[in-house]
């Protein structure tokens, strides 16, 4: 069997590191073509020693020299900046893993569609900010899209959406985050540290905050809408605190299929890397006797606005999902800097949606321009209102 070549965009983040871990243990199956990271030059160097890619990119140009020195004599091409990250996607590979966080992942991921047989997608912004545009590029290409987000990966495993079928709806499961049971009084007092403690999943800071605000689930509604070509009212959300059922497909004959596994991101990543075959994986199995019972509940009424807004921005269409994403990204940045309160995040998003015009999106440049404008407006609004 010949080795499958892999490029990882964003190899030092949570999804990227888990992918590296899988490749490391499956060297007879995969060989690494490229790795890239925004800032983490030390981990990127370590990963490069280990996987010996042909090319490595550091997005932050100031770190180029350190990386170049670290990899001296290793026969690895070292590049930097946005152009460098793009260069990592210029050669044909079997698999691309797109795990850059944020809108920065859009251009390189779009480029990798042209040059990959299979795209394992973790970057949410490709679908949230550019959904129809992104899916058009996928349909035009020969690239097979596999979602890595555990919910969408589950739905992908449960049904082939490219065929005519009888799917009535899908149910995305949500852990509910750390504030699942908080009333408004308690929510008013939560700190950054409280929000960073996710009950089930170990993830990056941005997505952990998005889980606490339920914005992550809101984005997943938008992702599912584009990925599986569903109608808005076909996408449901249920809180399932055990995070063992990763999502469900509800068929028109009254049957519901669910996908179960331990909450470990390596499971969906491993599935996607090996697809269309299923391989043996030495990883924790679920023990139903230990789990004993599954519970389901409605999302916290004090946090449900995020989910309601996802349906609203999808109905509005145009640039609204993009504005939704950008305003959140800026607000979360301020929250991580401890400059605003947890509940301010949602108020800022609502404010930006209420003052923004709805633009048509015709090109990738439109996306970057609107994102830039909304970013400036959101920063201005926060700086004025909170007066730092
Ligand atoms: Mn998810």
User: How far does the centroid of ligand 1 lie from the alpha carbon of residue 22, in Å?
Assistant: 19
pLDDT of res. 352: 97
Q: Which of 3, 265, 246, 239 is nearest to 120 (CA)?
A: 265
pLDDT of res. 201: 75
pLDDT of res. 224: 98
User: How far does the centroid of ligand 1 lie from the alpha carbon of residue 275, in Å?
Assistant: 19
User: How far does the centroid of ligand 1 lie from the alpha carbon of residue 41, in Å?
Assistant: 27
User: How far does the centroid of ligand 1 lie from the alpha carbon of residue 95, in Å?
Assistant: 21
Cβ-contact 29, 60 below 8 angstroms: no
pLDDT of res. 17: 97
Q: By percentage, how much of the chain surpasses pLDDT 90?
A: 93
> In the chain, which residues have pLDDT < 50?
none
pLDDT of res. 200: 81
pTM: 0.95
Q: Which of 316, 244, 246, 255 is nearest to 284 (CA)?
A: 244
Rounded Cα–Cα distance for residues 145 and 235 (Å): 20
* For helices 320-336 and 305-316, angle between their N-to-C axes, nearest 10 degrees: 150
User: How far does the centroid of ligand 1 lie from the alpha carbon of residue 387, in Å?
Assistant: 35
pLDDT of res. 270: 98
């Amino acid at each position: 069997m010949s080795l499958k070549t892999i490029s990882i965009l964003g190899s030092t983040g949570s999804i990227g590191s888990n992918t590296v871990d899988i490749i490391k243990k499956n060297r007879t199956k995969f060989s690494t073509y490229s790795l890239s990271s925004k800032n983490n030059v030390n981990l990127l160097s370590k990963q490069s020693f280990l996987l010996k890619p042909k090319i490595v990119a550091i997005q932050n140009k100031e770190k180029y020299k350190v990386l170049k020195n670290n990899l001296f004599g290793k026969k690895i091409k070292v590049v930097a900046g946005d152009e460098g990250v793009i260069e990592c996607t210029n050669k044909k590979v079997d698999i691309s893993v797109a795990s850059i966080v944020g809108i920065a992942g859009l251009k390189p991921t779009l480029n990798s569609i042209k040059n990959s047989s299979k795209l394992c997608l973790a970057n949410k912004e490709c679908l949230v900010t550019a959904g129809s545009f992104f899916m058009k590029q996928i349909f035009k290409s020969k690239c097979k899209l596999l979602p890595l987000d555990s919910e969408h990966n589950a739905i992908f495993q449960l049904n082939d959406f490219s065929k005519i079928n009888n799917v009535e709806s899908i149910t995305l499961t949500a852990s509910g985050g750390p504030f699942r049971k908080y009333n408004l009084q308690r929510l008013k007092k939560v700190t950054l540290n409280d929000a960073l403690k996710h009950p089930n999943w170990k993830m990056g800071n941005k997505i952990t905050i998005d889980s606490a605000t339920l914005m992550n689930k809101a984005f997943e509604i938008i992702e599912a809408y584009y990925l599986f070509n569903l109608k808005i009212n076909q996408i449901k959300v249920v809180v399932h605190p055990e995070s063992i059922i990763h999502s469900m497909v509800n068929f028109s004959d009254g049957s519901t299929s669910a996908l179960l596994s331990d909450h470990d991101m390596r499971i969906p990543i491993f599935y996607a890397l090996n697809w269309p075959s299923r391989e043996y994986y030495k990883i924790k199995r679920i023990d139903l006797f230990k789990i004993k019972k599954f519970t389901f509940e409605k999302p916290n009424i004090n946090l449900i606005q995020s989910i309601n807004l996802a349906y609203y921005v999808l109905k509005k269409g145009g640039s609204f999902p993009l504005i939704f994403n950008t305003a959140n990204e800026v607000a979360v940045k301020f929250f991580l800097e401890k400059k605003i309160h947890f509940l301010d995040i949602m108020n800022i998003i609502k404010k930006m949606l209420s003052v923004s015009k709805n633009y048509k999106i015709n090109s990738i440049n439109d996306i970057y321009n609107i994102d830039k404008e909304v970013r400036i407006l959101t920063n201005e609004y926060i700086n004025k209102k909170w007066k730092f």
